[in-house]
Amino acid sequence: MSAVITEATIEDLYRVKEKAEIVNGEIVAMPPTGCDPGLASFNAASSLKEYARKTKKGFAVPDNIGFIVNLPNRKSFSPDAAFHIGAKTGMKFLEGAPIFAVEVRSENDYGKKAEKEIAEKRADYFAAGTLVVWDVDLLSEDVIKSYSSSNPDTPKIFRRGDKADAEPALPDWQMAVDELFE
């Protein structure tokens, strides 16, 4: 007799008491992050909030807000910062993928396994409709690798001293890379 495997649901995700996503039918918990990555994601979300105020199109999303998606291998995202043009959903997770997602590496986001997982998640973002994904690595000279859905294998690189953008997702938005470190 074989065991029945039950896939995690969005209702299950609501009961998790930590940041998590549903990937391959399982709830994948994400440990708390350190000071620098946390502040970098906060600073990115703050800059995005100013862009939303200016354009009155969409809204900034800080860390730990869930996005429900319907991919074969993924049912949710919880980016470190994002920009969403869909409707606000009150106390529930947001519906659909953000148009722009920021993923800030924590201390455990290094090595071959982590690189593979990051690349798979980025591909999932694009499959769900995200236009641009930032891979932020505060320990690298290449601080931001900005991937676009139209050219997913060749990132634009932004370093300290540069102004980074999220074209074509966010026209006329820029953020100084150095602001991530404030």
- Delimit the domains of the chain by residue range: 31-181
For residue 167, the model assigns a pLDDT of: 97
Among 180, 182, 144, residue whose Cα is nearest residue 165 = 144
6 confidence band (pLDDT: 50, 70, 90): confident
Please, what's the b/e burial string for 118-142 (b: 16 or more CB within 10 A of its CB; e: otherwise)?
beebbbbbbebebbbbbbbbbeeee
Residue 127 has which token pair?
Answer: 């499959």
**H-helix segments, 56-132:** 112-128
For residue 104, the model assigns a pLDDT of: 98
Residue 136 · residue 130 · CB < 8 Å? no
2 confidence band (pLDDT: 50, 70, 90): low
Decide which of 3.40.50.150, 3.40.640.10, 1.10.287.130, 3.90.1570.10 is the CATH code for 31-181: 3.90.1570.10
Average pLDDT, the chain: 95
**Poorest-confidence range of 6-15, 34-43, 50-59, 130-139?**
6-15
102-134 tens-digit pLDDT: 999 999 899 999 999 999 999 999 999 999 999
